[in-house]
Copies of this chain bind each other. A is one copy, B any other.
Amino acid sequence: MGNVYEQEIYQKALKAKEASRTLAKASSAVKDKVLMAIADSLVKSTGAILEANEVDVQAGREKGLSRALIDRLLLTSDRVHDMAEGLRVLASLPDPVGEVISMWLRPNGLQIGQVRVPLGVVGMIYEARPNVTVDAAGLCFKTGNAVVLRGSSDAINSNVAIARIIAGAADRCGIPADAIQLIENTEREAIGNLLKMDQFIDVIIPRGGAGLIKFVIENATIPVIQTGVGNCHTYVDGEADRKMAEEIVINAKCHRPGVCNAMETMLVDKKIAAEFLPAVAEKLRQNGVEIRGCEQTRELVPWVTLAVEEDWGTEYLDLILAVKIVEDFDEALEHIYKYGTGHSEAIVTDNYTKSRRFLNEVDAATVYVNASTRFTDGFQYGFGAEIGISTQKLHARGPMGLKELTTIKYIVYGEGQTRK
């Protein structure tokens, strides 16, 4: 027990671990009942939630938080209803726990099966939005996991109010209130302690900016699922359908520029550049996009700012696009290899060989032919829920649904077999 934070965190992580045993045994019916009860309770307690949120919003304004951050923090009656509705949808999804993924018979008669089971205790560290508190608890309960949450100090009053409602509803439905633990101490040192509770917590999922994720990776002894950074490219090949390419790049850049699956760099084959680029650049400009391009781009579109080396590696998360004209397909692949973050990469082409090579050779969580990178999303993939988008290769890669909050165990039926 190194410090006062560690005491709080140790106790909470231990309680979550104990509660996870009950959750792991809970039937789908009980878990879904809990989700519905939380939804009802949130709606009923809207007044109390908004009151607590008002304290956070007020403090945020005094602290000088940006309008965008205040908007992320702010709850309204509608937003509380949306959170509740999300839980009801979750309750309607199939429960992945208990599925026997495969089972086989060995020559010695042992019957060996792989069964899907909860991870145990999931730790989530996240920034401003208080709705993540509801989402995370819902996703974890649905998959039979207890959850330890550490939200940001900006949302602490909202999070405390919401967590209390969740714990109360769980308790009334036969799930221990301890299954949700909120770390109320929001010092960074407290996160450091949380990240080392590997005897109690099975996985840490950080949701937030690059700085938070880096801190978690460098300090955790608990396994981490990295989410997030997406420096996504779209390569417009010389054999692309021009109109299709235009629609795809405008969608990938402008539909929601602040998210990880938005396009950050467009690569254009030299063969099509003169014909394609000026018109699409104009449309992008009409959509409010600032373009930072290579020298060749500027020759075709004079109003473009000159891109510097840093631009190729930047995830703008804004209405800014880097544009580079490449000699050929291979230069596009090399550029993506060098600057990509392994999130979502797309080619627009009507050439069969290049489509195959792009899918095979680009090393990313998701690779697209003739579609917008904006589709990288658990709901768009049909998973019915989303925990986040993993940009690492272990356990989960790409959009994560409910299955990614489970692990497997081997069950073995014998009749007295011993090893020879």
Contacts and interface: CB of A to CB of B under 8 A. Distances in A.
B221 A412 contact: no
A294 B384 CA distance: 52
A394 B112 contact: no
B395 A394 contact: yes
B244 A369 contact: no
Q: For the complex formed by this chain, how many copies does it contain in all? A: 2
- Among A372, A407, A413, which residue has the most Cβ atoms of chain B within 10 A? A407
A353 interface: no
Nearest to A406: B393
The A interface is mostly helix, strand or loop, or mixed, namely mixed
Contacts of A119: 393-394
A342 to B, nearest CB: 9
A110 B368 CA distance: 10
Interface string A142-163: 0000000000000000000000
A241 B416 contact: yes
Nearest to A372: B418
A366 interface: yes
B198 A217 contact: yes
Interface string A212-241: 000001100101110000000000000001
B363 A412 contact: no
Interface residues of A, number: 67
A221 B226 CA distance: 11
A393 B407 contact: yes
A312 to B, nearest CB: 16
A300 interface: no
Contacts of A359: 411
A62 B373 CA distance: 62
Contact of A394 (B203, B368, B419): B203
A120 interface: yes
A114 to B, nearest CB: 8
Contact of A419 (B365, B374, B419): B374
A367 B412 contact: yes
Contacts of A364: 409
Nearest to A366: B410
A203 to B, nearest CB: 6
A110 B414 contact: no
B394 A225 contact: yes
Nearest to A418: B251
B251 A419 contact: yes
A411 B363 CA distance: 11
A106 B371 CA distance: 13
Contacts of A412: 366-369, 371, 375
- Among A247, A397, A419, which residue has the most Cβ atoms of chain B within 10 A? A419
A330 to B, nearest CB: 12
B418 A223 contact: no
A398 interface: yes
A127 interface: no
A285 interface: no
Contact of A411 (B367, B394, B411, B418): B367
A360 interface: yes
A371 B409 contact: no
A81 interface: no
A248 interface: yes
A69 interface: no
Interface string A37-69: 000000000000000000000000000000000
Given A203-B394, A241-B416, A365-B409, 6 more contacts: A366-B412, A367-B410, A375-B412, A393-B407, A394-B407, A397-B408
7 contacts: A106-B380, A106-B382, A203-B394, A248-B418, A371-B417, A395-B395, A397-B409
